[in-house]
Amino acid sequence: MTKKSAGTDAIVKELRAWGLTYPGAHTKSPWPGHLDLAVNDKTFAYLSIEGEPFSIGCKLPQSAAMALMLPGTSPTPYGLGKSGWVTAQFPDGRVPPIDVLKAWIDESYRAQAPKKLIASIGVDGAGMTNAKTVAKKPAVKKAAVKKAAVKRAAKRPVPKSTARKR
């Protein structure tokens, strides 16, 4: 292992440890050469393993277009790029922007995690409330809606033209 890969190895370890702090996050190794981050067995970040050239792949539904403008980024192969997945590869010795990569992991986690787990986080990494995590109005049961509609209908006067003649 060279000094260059030792630097990116520390970054991979830091990103993996940071990603594992999310609720329900765990590691997953779908094939050799990867130790990915997943939630409910759905990968949210493809990470290279230590000793290999640094690469990361994340699902970026909001920021994929912006991410693809950065050097070293490309749509993730195998058709994943069509769904907003972006892969970034950095040559040895070039330190990737950790804060940007953490923001990508955050966005990707939120794209893959169940709503209940996302709600437990609340605010995204940029300090903004994610549109998907904003609390919705409490669901009103159908029976209550139907009962209210019946009450309103009973209060309305029936027009004489439609009233039945008895």
The pLDDT tens digits of the residues spanning 71-123 come to 888 898 887 878 889 999 877 667 678 999 999 999 999 999 999 999 988 76
What pLDDT is stored for residue 161 in this prediction?
59
Mean pLDDT of 2-16: 77
Residue 133 clears pLDDT 60, i.e. is over it? no
What pLDDT is stored for residue 131 in this prediction?
39
Q: Which residue has the tokens 């990915």?
A: 36
CB 15 within 8 A of CB 106: no
Residue 50 clears pLDDT 80, i.e. is over it? yes
Domains of the chain listed by start with CATH number: 3-121 (3.90.1150.30)
What type of residue is 69? M
What pLDDT is stored for residue 94 in this prediction?
72
Q: Which residue has the tokens 């690469």?
A: 55
Query: Hey, which bits of the chain come out as E strands?
Result: 25-28, 36-39, 42-47, 55-59, 73-75, 85-89
Short-list 110, 102, 103, 68, CA closest to 85: 68
Residue 4 clears pLDDT 80, i.e. is over it? no
The whole-model pTM stands at 0.68
